[in-house]
Amino acid sequence: NAGVMQNPRHLVRRRGQEARLRCSPVKGHSHVYWYRQLPEEGLKFMVYLQKENIIDESGMPKERFSAEFPKEGPSILRIQQVVRGDSAAYFCASSPDRGRDSGANVLTFGAGSRLTVL
Amino acid sequence: QKEVEQNSGPLSVPEGAIASLNCTYSDRVSQSFFWYRQYSGKSPELIMSIYSNGDKEDGRFTAQLNKASQYVSLLIRDSQPSDSATYLCAVNFSGATNKLIFGTGTLLAVQP
């Protein structure tokens, strides 16, 4: 049973290019989350999606960033016109539907995609 | 602004000692609390989850929750060098979504 799969693991872009990061959740999980981690910093929430819906995008920068989780295929985090400040590790996590007796369900993280902007 | 606060450390303990990691959070209606471990350059992995006041034990790990004081801690007994990592506290502030807010993490160094 594969965990959360992210690709690419490493991505190098020049300023102004586009970066696309992909995330396939754990089989059976319908909730996907994207987090960004800058060097020596904690995980910052970006966006929470269910299939075909954005549930919470309060952590997404207003410009250049977008996310989707289509009915078929992986979730995509897209960064347009990248700048050096976008260099970070981007982690995707997934969770199943809410458990009957619990609060939030446990998030399972992928290995991350490390973006370097030259 | 809902926040999760942790001492960044590093917290240095000798091998075999008890490591105590602390976390405070800003919202009294928080329901779910998690401790994740993250090795350098790796992804976070779940260590413990706790939902009710009191202690929850799993092997060498004990999570403690005090909702009145808005405080959650993680104790690691018989600390090993392999426990050296950054420990991230995470809180679900709202029952309406599964979004977790993370603290900045505490770096633990276990000295052999």
- Which pair of tokens denotes residue B26? 């800003």
Instruction: Tell me the average pLDDT across B55-80.
Output: 95
Check residue A8 and give its pLDDT.
97
Instruction: Tell me the average pLDDT across B20-44.
Output: 90
Contacts of A31 in chain B (CB under 8 A): 98
Determine contact, residues B109/B19, Cβ cutoff 8 Å.
no
Contacts of A35 in chain B (CB under 8 A): 102
Instruction: Tell me the average pLDDT across B66-85.
Output: 95
- The CA R_g of chain A, rounded to the nearest whole Å, is 14
More confident call, B29 vs A87? A87
Please give the distance of CA A91 from its chain centroid, rounded to a whole number. 5
Check residue A100 and give its pLDDT.
44
Contacts of residue B23, defined as CB under 8 A and 6 or more positions apart, other chains included, come to B4, B5, B6, B33, B71, B72, B73, B74, B89, B103
Contacts of A103 in chain B (CB under 8 A): 31-32, 51, 92, 95
Taken in order A94, A98, A100, A101, is the CA torsion positive or negative?
A: positive
Confidence of residue A101 (pLDDT cuts 50, 70, 90): very low
Determine contact, residues A90/A78, Cβ cutoff 8 Å.
no
Taken in order A77, A73, A32, A40, is the CA torsion positive or negative?
A: negative
Check residue A111 and give its pLDDT.
95
Check residue A103 and give its pLDDT.
45
Query: Phi-psi region for residue A112, left (φ > 0), alpha (ψ -120 to 50) or beta?
Result: left
- Put simply, the answer to whether B43 touches A31 (Cβ < 8 Å) is no
Whether residue B26 has pLDDT greater than 60:
yes
- Which pair of tokens denotes residue A15? 């300023």
Instruction: Tell me the average pLDDT across B90-111.
Output: 86
Percentage of chain A with pLDDT > 90? 75
Residue whose structure tokens are 């329901």: B31
- Put simply, the answer to whether B98 touches A33 (Cβ < 8 Å) is yes
- Which pair of tokens denotes residue B84? 């050296």
User: What's the rounded Cα separation, in Å, for the pair B76 and B1?
Assistant: 30
Instruction: Tell me the average pLDDT across A45-49.
Output: 95
- Which pair of tokens denotes residue B23? 């976390």
- Put simply, the answer to whether B102 touches A103 (Cβ < 8 Å) is no
Whether residue B94 has pLDDT greater than 90:
no
Task: Select from A33, A44, A103 the Cβ nearest to the Cβ of B32.
Answer: A103
Determine contact, residues A114/A8, Cβ cutoff 8 Å.
no
- Which pair of tokens denotes residue B68? 């009145």
Residues of B with CB under 8 A from a CB of A: 31-32, 34, 36, 42-46, 49, 51, 88, 90, 92, 95, 97-105
- Put simply, the answer to whether A35 touches B102 (Cβ < 8 Å) is yes
Determine contact, residues A54/A75, Cβ cutoff 8 Å.
no
Query: Phi-psi region for residue B93, left (φ > 0), alpha (ψ -120 to 50) or beta?
Result: alpha
- Put simply, the answer to whether A112 touches B51 (Cβ < 8 Å) is no
Instruction: Tell me the average pLDDT across A26-49.
Output: 90
Check residue B95 and give its pLDDT.
58
User: What's the rounded Cα separation, in Å, for the pair A86 and A52?
Assistant: 25
- Put simply, the answer to whether B101 touches A45 (Cβ < 8 Å) is yes
More confident call, A103 vs B8? B8
- Which pair of tokens denotes residue A105? 């369900």
Whether residue B107 has pLDDT greater than 90:
yes
